[in-house]
Amino acid sequence: MQVRIAHDAPASAQTGALVVPVFTDGTLDAATKAADDALGGAIADILASGEIKGKLAESVVVHAKGKPFGRVLVMGLGEREKFEPHMLARAAGAAVRVLGRKNVAEIAFVLPPQAKGREAACAAFAAEGAITGSFDITLYQSKPEKKIAVTGFTILDDGFDAAAVAAGVARGTIVGESVNIARSMAATPANDMTPTHMAAQATKVAGEAGLAIDVLDEDRAKAEGMGSFLSVSAGSTQPAKMIVLTYKGDPSSKEVLGLVGKGITFDTGGISIKPAANMEDMKMDMSGGAGTIAAMYAIGKLKPKLNVIGIVPATENMPGGKATKPGDIVKAMNGTTIEVINTDAEGRLVLCDGITYALKLGATKIVDVATLTGACVIALGHAAAALVGNDDAFIAQFEKAAKPTGERYWHMPLYEEYTAAMKSDIADLKNTGGRAAGTLTAAAFLRTFVGDTPWLHLDIAGTAYLDSESAWQAKGPTGQPVRAFVALVDSMAG
């Protein structure tokens, strides 16, 4: 999809559909009032009737015969006093999905008056939402059942700072495309998204975004001592890959942000095999890795003044004659010995070597992300991801950066009792501490590998994909944490 800018007044926009905002207070702002006048008061009548109440992403279509716009989509933005720019991503995504399924190819989108003074942010979110709204998981359908017909999305800058709108559209387009890269990767089945395919996708991204890339094969990983990572791949015929993307935005600085994403391209649970029901969703157990690769693409395109490395330990977790067994002892890259209690607690086994390698490459701050624990879904449902860390200032910086993106993270504690639960009788650590506080014992396991380095852990098990579509995005992968990663990099770059 192409996102454009036009200087037209809303009432004179030549387009297939004009999207105008309304809030729950029912007051028609100038652009919406102009469209309402052109429609003979139809929008006011709709609001008065209660057909829609102006809730976020609530909408209704009005035909506009004889007008320069063929239809008007009245789009709710919620309570006026609670408006935030990221809500425009949802509104734009919903507009694309509603109108795209009505065979509308061109849309003109009106920014609300609340965008005044923050045009760049509002335009960025509108562009991002339009692009992500056009994505569907019908990647393998020869004749997609729910095709989105929209090919052009135009933001009207009439009455706004045109330069700021243009800057916002440029940024939002990159972020939206990056989110869709992550979603496309996560939606791809495991036979077409093996660790080798994942490394190939990362190589493609690196070429397009001007990143350096290095892919460690199993021999190099073994030479580095990555016994924990390789223990997960032991049962698979697909070779593991340790993917490293590097962006040098400030060569004069020694500060390096390390992003480490879990890249389990399919998770059967290994010898501790999962139940058959819904196992097909385990193709998306590499969502953290996909998000890391996609975020690095955005970082390369946006060119912030910060050094960033993205590391993705990619492998399958399969049962087999050579697979790691419960009770086996493996040695991580930093020399830590680990008793494998449950082979389905494999994400932390690959992340710990990814974290150690990030430190070897010079990372001064680290964020890891993974669809790590079912316990996170029990704790937070699908409304938010878990956030755990060892540095209050870094946690606060991340929360401040991430909140405006619309991605939700909930800070959870990391008490010493959780670390104690991960001690093994026979080795230094064990890879699971049981059912109690499973999200936090997993985080405590990873904490032992970062030392004093400021570190954050994001468990996106409940938010990496949707079981059903929403008004603004398709069922399936969400692309989290691309937006938050980009925002954090911006924050650290100043």
Identify the pLDDT of residue 90: 98
Please tell me which residue in 348, 365, 430, 447 is annotated as part of the active site: 348
Can you tell me the mean pLDDT for 265-273? Answer: 98
Q: How far apart are CA 52 and CA 356, in angstroms?
A: 53
Can you tell me the mean pLDDT for 10-21? Answer: 96
Active-site residue, 423 included = no
Tokens of 431: 């890879």
Q: How far apart are CA 262 and CA 244, in angstroms?
A: 13
Active-site residue, 348 included = yes
Q: Which CATH architecture has domain 188-463?
A: 3-Layer(aba) Sandwich (3.40)
Identify the pLDDT of residue 147: 86
Cβ 288 vs Cβ 243: under 8 Å: no
| Residue 302 pLDDT greater than 90, yes or no | yes
Q: Residues 6 or more apart from 170 whose CB is under 8 A from it?
A: none
* Cα 427-432-435 angle, rounded to 5 deg: 145
* 65-110: pLDDT as tens digits: 999 999 999 999 999 999 999 999 999 999 999 999 999 999 999 9
Identify the pLDDT of residue 80: 97
The strand order across the sheet containing 106-110 reads 2-6, 152-156, 106-110, 15-22, 69-76, 59-63
* 144-198: pLDDT as tens digits: 877 899 999 999 999 999 999 999 999 999 999 999 999 999 999 999 999 999 9
Can you tell me the mean pLDDT for 191-210? Answer: 98
Name the pLDDT band for 203 (thresholds 50, 70, 90).
very high
Q: Around Cβ 159, how many Cβ atoms within 10 Å?
A: 16
Name the pLDDT band for 143 (thresholds 50, 70, 90).
confident
Express as a percent the part of the chain with pLDDT over 90: 98
Identical fold between 2-180 and 188-463: no
| CATH class held by domain 2-180 | alpha beta
* 395-406: pLDDT as tens digits: 999 999 999 999
Domain boundaries, the chain: 2-180, 188-463
Express as a percent the part of the chain with pLDDT over 70: 100
Q: How far apart are CA 485 and CA 489, in angstroms?
A: 6
Please tell me which residue in 55, 67, 204, 274 is annotated as part of the active site: 274
* 394-437: pLDDT as tens digits: 999 999 999 999 999 999 999 999 999 999 999 999 999 999 99
Can you tell me the mean pLDDT for 337-355? Answer: 98
Identify the pLDDT of residue 144: 84
Identify the pLDDT of residue 242: 98
Identify the pLDDT of residue 146: 75
Q: How far apart are CA 352 and CA 69, in angstroms?
A: 55
Identify the pLDDT of residue 245: 99
| Residue 115 pLDDT greater than 80, yes or no | yes
